[in-house]
Chains A and B, each alone.
Chain A
Amino acid sequence: MDHFLHDLKSHQEKLLNALLQVDRLTAKEILTYPYPGASALQVVENLVVPVLEQVGLGWEKGSYSLSQVYMSGRICEELVDLILPPSHTSRLSQPKMAIATLEDYHVLGKRIVYSTLRASGFEIENYGQMTTEELAERATSDQTQILLISVLMLPSALRVKALRDQLRKKGSRVKIVVGGAPFRFDPLLWREVGADAFGETASEAVHLVHTIIQEMQCPPQLLPLSNAY
């Protein structure tokens, strides 16, 4: 593990370059290398998560493109499935999470967040495209604890309010995390529709999910991070 951490910056740079070049083979060599003393989860947490975060930040700043964000997430998702399979105990001990597009036919954003979360070691159910009623019903019956919603169109973003109302009526206390262009262009919108958090990028969604899980494990009033979203 010490050796792995000592050379971490170099590993991260190599992985970043491989992902930006869509070089699957090099990315696979870096991620599947048997680093002495480092567990699969440590490789994911120290290598994949920060590099994907860097790609996301680069997109936010305009240095990288959405296609690079998408391909990086997809490659990492495939490779992390190799080293940290869905049945891995680290994935199984998480709260129940799901992602959906709400009354919206644009699914790329959801795909990117889904890949990034899975590549970061989370297990998450993909509900696909759903209407407000379908999503409220499904999230309630599944007892979903964290629900991520991706939209591209403004009318779809506005539907989150009705979704939240329906979820609460059904007794669900699920945390709603939203993302997508309408929320980026109007920073007040996520609060208006009653979401619990807004993620500007897929990597930010990873941070938000971490924070929510921490809060679920510890009362919010004891956590200074509770104001982070």
Chain B
Amino acid sequence: MPPSTFTPLQRVLTTLSQQEPDRVPLFLLLTMHGAQELGLSLKSYFSKAENVVEGQLTLQKKYQHDNLYGFFYAALEVEAFGGETIFVEDGPPNAGEPIITRPEDILALEPPRVKDSPCLHKVLQAQQMLKEKTGDTIPIIGVVMSPFSLPVMQMGFASYLDLIYERPDLFERLMKVNQTFCVEWANAQLTAGATAICYFDPVSSSTIVTREQYLRTGYAAACQTLKHIQGPTATHFASGRCLPIVQDVAQTGTAIIGVSADEDLTELKRAAQGRLSLLGNLNGIQMRRWSAADAEAAVKQAIAAAGRGGGFILSDNHGEIPYQVPEATLMAVVEAVHRWGKYPLDWLDA
């Protein structure tokens, strides 16, 4: 095929301005496949910025997707708070024992400083190197956990839900601590080279809390936090539903919304009304067993539902493609986007 005149960054910026670029942009949010490319264990892979840089560049060269992912793993933020990370051989690392073992611990909790956190430095170093190597040709995506969702790793999900319902005073203090950290961490990534920040906020999803709860909690935290982040943001619910709150999410100042395979893309696009661009929603769990034909059908269906008029980036629905998804499937997704994602999408009228 002839080379496109659009760089990946131009392609993405065009779709974010609700216009059609040369084709539907594709984000492959691959955190762990770089380790497979380099023949390293996940623990070893994430131990050095250079590994992640090499992994990301190798993957992008192979799949020609429209992003680099400057994200290591979520538990890293809890590491910065003094927690530990538990590595597994075939999946994302998990946060270890909670750093908040009783609600009163929150009174003494202080936000870690990015400059004092070697684990965060690795990420910044990787993003800086990616930026040096690619310039302004391709978006480098940084990641933060939202202040409202980070406590799941800081104290455990059940204890956190108890806190929200039973200790609003301590909940407020925790939000303040996490907001301070989140803003500093996001801005450090933007300074290092990230083009945009993906604000992961699964607890705000309508799968977890009602819209009323969201407005009192996750929405308030997002409004307070995102206005201090000095760059574009995407809000991602990590497979959680968001249709009932799409309009509210648009009010938080974010530009993109990561949407779930659990919801209809056509309805989501309608609800976004051009105020938000959609990122999603290929089913990452099912992707593991997809044939090439399955991949093509899923890509085609997503593009048919949300591709027209721009405002759409094709991606998985979780913000991270499982380690088990094979190369052949990823390649089938890429080929399907190149085949069915070229604008204008005339085939939809055929």
Chain A residues at the B interface, C-beta cutoff of 8 Å:
22, 62, 64-68, 70-71, 103-108, 111, 153-156, 158, 181-182, 185-186, 188-189
With contacts A107-B156, A154-B322, A185-B283 known, is A65 near B91, CB below 8 A?
no
Contact across chains for B94 and A105 when beta carbons are under 8 A apart: yes
Q: Which residues of B contact A106 (CB under 8 A)?
A: 94, 157
Contact across chains for B96 and A67 when beta carbons are under 8 A apart: no
Contact across chains for B213 and A67 when beta carbons are under 8 A apart: yes
Contact across chains for A65 and B208 when beta carbons are under 8 A apart: yes
Write out, one digit per residue, whether chain B residues 78-115 have a CB within 8 A of any chain A CB (1) or not (0): 00000000101011101110000000000000000000
What's the minimum C-beta distance from B214 to chain A, rounded to whole angstroms?
Answer: 9
CB < 8 Å neighbour of A108 from B158, B209, B289: B158
Bound CA–CA A2/B88 (angstroms):
56
Q: Beyond the given A65-B213, A105-B96, A156-B91, could you list 5 further A-B residue pairs with CB under 8 A, ordered by the A residue number?
A: A62-B244, A66-B209, A154-B324, A155-B323, A181-B285
CB < 8 Å neighbour of A67 from B86, B94, B161, B285: B161
Residue B252 at the chain A interface, CB threshold 8 Å: no
CB < 8 Å neighbour of A154 from B94, B210, B213, B285: B285
Q: Which residues of A contact B158 (CB under 8 A)?
A: 70, 107-108, 111
Residue of B whose beta carbon sits closest to that of A106: B157
Write out, one digit per residue, whether chain B residues 141-178 have a CB within 8 A of any chain A CB (1) or not (0): 00000000000000011100100110000000000000
Contact across chains for B285 and A189 when beta carbons are under 8 A apart: yes
Q: Which residues of A contact B206 (CB under 8 A)?
A: 62, 65
CB < 8 Å neighbour of B285 from A22, A70, A156, A182: A182
Residue B15 at the chain A interface, CB threshold 8 Å: no
CB < 8 Å neighbour of B210 from A68, A70, A104, A107: A68
Bound CA–CA A111/B162 (angstroms):
12
Residue B266 at the chain A interface, CB threshold 8 Å: no
Write out, one digit per residue, whether chain B residues 204-230 have a CB within 8 A of any chain A CB (1) or not (0): 001111100100000000000000000
Q: Which residues of A contact B90 (CB under 8 A)?
A: 155, 158
The count of chain B contact residues (Cβ–Cβ below 8 Å) is 34
Q: Which residues of B contact A107 (CB under 8 A)?
A: 156-158
CB < 8 Å neighbour of B208 from A22, A66, A158: A66
What's the minimum C-beta distance from A95 to chain B, rounded to whole angstroms?
Answer: 27
With contacts A106-B157, A154-B285, A182-B285 known, is A67 near B208, CB below 8 A?
yes
Residue B273 at the chain A interface, CB threshold 8 Å: no
Residue B292 at the chain A interface, CB threshold 8 Å: no
Residue B277 at the chain A interface, CB threshold 8 Å: no
What's the minimum C-beta distance from A105 to chain B, rounded to whole angstroms?
Answer: 4
Q: Which 3 A-B pairs have the closest CB atoms?
A: A155-B91, A108-B157, A185-B285
Residue B121 at the chain A interface, CB threshold 8 Å: no
CB < 8 Å neighbour of B288 from A66, A103, A186: A186
Bound CA–CA A212/B92 (angstroms):
34
Main SS at interface, chain A: helix
What's the minimum C-beta distance from B283 to chain A, rounded to whole angstroms?
Answer: 6
Residue of B whose beta carbon sits closest to that of A20: B210
Contact across chains for A186 and B207 when beta carbons are under 8 A apart: no
Chain B residues at the A interface, C-beta cutoff of 8 Å:
86, 88, 90-92, 94-96, 156-158, 161, 164-165, 206-210, 213, 239, 241, 243-244, 261, 283-286, 288-289, 322-324
Q: Which residues of B contact A70 (CB under 8 A)?
A: 158, 161
What's the minimum C-beta distance from B228 to chain A, rounded to whole angstroms?
Answer: 27
CB < 8 Å neighbour of A181 from B86, B88, B239, B289: B239
Q: Which residues of B contact A22 (CB under 8 A)?
A: 165
What's the minimum C-beta distance from A194 to chain B, rounded to whole angstroms?
Answer: 16
Residue of B whose beta carbon sits closest to that of A188: B289
Contact across chains for A71 and B161 when beta carbons are under 8 A apart: yes
Which interface residue of A71, A108, A111, A188 has the most chain B CB atoms within 10 A? A108
Contact across chains for B161 and A62 when beta carbons are under 8 A apart: no
With contacts A22-B165, A66-B208 known, is A186 near B289, CB below 8 A?
yes
Task: Provide 28 A-B residue pairs closer than 8 Å at the C-beta atoms, listed in order of the A residue.
Answer: A62-B241, A62-B244, A65-B208, A66-B207, A66-B208, A66-B209, A67-B161, A67-B165, A67-B208, A67-B210, A70-B158, A71-B161, A71-B165, A104-B94, A105-B96, A108-B158, A153-B94, A154-B324, A155-B88, A155-B323, A156-B91, A182-B285, A185-B239, A185-B283, A185-B286, A186-B283, A186-B285, A186-B286
Residue of B whose beta carbon sits closest to that of A110: B158
Contact across chains for A154 and B88 when beta carbons are under 8 A apart: no
What's the minimum C-beta distance from B252 to chain A, rounded to whole angstroms?
Answer: 19
What's the minimum C-beta distance from A161 to chain B, rounded to whole angstroms?
Answer: 13
Bound CA–CA A155/B88 (angstroms):
9
Contact across chains for A154 and B91 when beta carbons are under 8 A apart: yes
With contacts A65-B209, A105-B94, A105-B95 known, is A154 near B288, CB below 8 A?
yes
Contact across chains for B164 and A67 when beta carbons are under 8 A apart: yes
Bound CA–CA A104/B165 (angstroms):
25
Q: Which residues of A contact B244 (CB under 8 A)?
A: 62
What's the minimum C-beta distance from B75 to chain A, rounded to whole angstroms?
Answer: 9
Bound CA–CA A104/B241 (angstroms):
23
Bound CA–CA A24/B241 (angstroms):
28
Q: Which residues of A contact B96 (CB under 8 A)?
A: 105
Bound CA–CA A224/B142 (angstroms):
54
